[in-house]
């Protein structure tokens, strides 16, 4: 049972620890640290406590999603490369039954064809892509709404 005061989880997948250095023309110049600060600040304004995690490992992301079932009220996730490959991550999100908002910094639909499909989108309540770092603020704002009507 998740307590009403439980935090929300912002989960970032592989290579997002390299933000700032990584293909800035696509992903922007904000670092993961800056994005996580934006998430904490946005959460504060919404009355949500935010916890942020990042991993380059599929199993670690799945463990984080499973742990969120009893520890968090909802999930904002940028599954990064695993969006396009991971049935297991999708299954974990479906299993925990929490509100989920998927975020991508870039507009994956304007990029290579292999990025157009995300396994996660089919189990997400909403998907935000192409808004850069601001997408995380939008995602948290929508998550707060989903939690409020839950």
Active site members: 27, 104
Q: Are 55 and 14 in contact (CB under 8 A)?
A: yes
Q: Are 104 and 38 in contact (CB under 8 A)?
A: no
**Piece in contact with ligand DQA (CB under 6 A), picked from 67-75, 89-97, 99-107, 142-150:** 99-107
**Nearest to 73, CA basis, from 107, 111, 47, 42:** 47
32/58 Cα distance (integer angstroms): 18
Alpha helix (H) ranges present in 1-133? 24-27, 32-46, 58-71, 87-96
Q: Is 86 in the site for ligand DQA (CB under 6 A)?
A: no
Closest approach of Cβ 148 to ligand DQA, in Å?
A: 26
Q: Is 132 in the site for ligand DQA (CB under 6 A)?
A: no
Handedness of CA 37, 43, 45, 47 (dihedral sign): negative
**Piece in contact with ligand DQA (CB under 6 A), picked from 32-40, 42-50, 74-82, 119-127:** 74-82
Closest approach of Cβ 78 to ligand DQA, in Å?
A: 5
**Piece in contact with ligand DQA (CB under 6 A), picked from 40-48, 66-74, 80-88, 90-98:** 80-88
Closest approach of Cβ 111 to ligand DQA, in Å?
A: 7
Q: Is 105 in the site for ligand DQA (CB under 6 A)?
A: yes
Which secondary-structure segment (H or E) carries 11?
Answer: strand 8-12
Closest approach of Cβ 85 to ligand DQA, in Å?
A: 9
Site residues for ligand DQA, 13-42, by CB under 6 A, read: 15
Q: How many other β-carbons are positioned within 10 Å of the β-carbon of residue 89? A: 23
């Amino acid at each position: 049972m998740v307590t009403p005061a439980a935090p929300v989880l912002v989960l970032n997948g592989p290579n997002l620890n390299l933000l700032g250095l990584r293909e800035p023309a696509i992903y922007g110049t904000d670092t993961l640290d800056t994005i996580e600060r934006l998430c904490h600040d946005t959460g504060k304004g919404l009355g949500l406590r935010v916890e942020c995690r990042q991993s380059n490992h599929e199993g670690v992301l799945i463990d984080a999603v499973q742990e969120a079932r009893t520890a968090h009220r909802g999930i904002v996730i940028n599954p990064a490369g695993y969006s396009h490959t991971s049935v297991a991550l999708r299954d974990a999100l479906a299993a925990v039954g929490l509100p989920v908002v998927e975020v991508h910094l870039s507009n994956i639909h304007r990029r290579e064809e292999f990025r157009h499909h995300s396994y996660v989108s089919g189990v997400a309540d909403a998907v935000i892509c192409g808004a850069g770092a601001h997408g995380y603020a939008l995602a948290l704002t929508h998550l707060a709404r989903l939690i409020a009507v839950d």
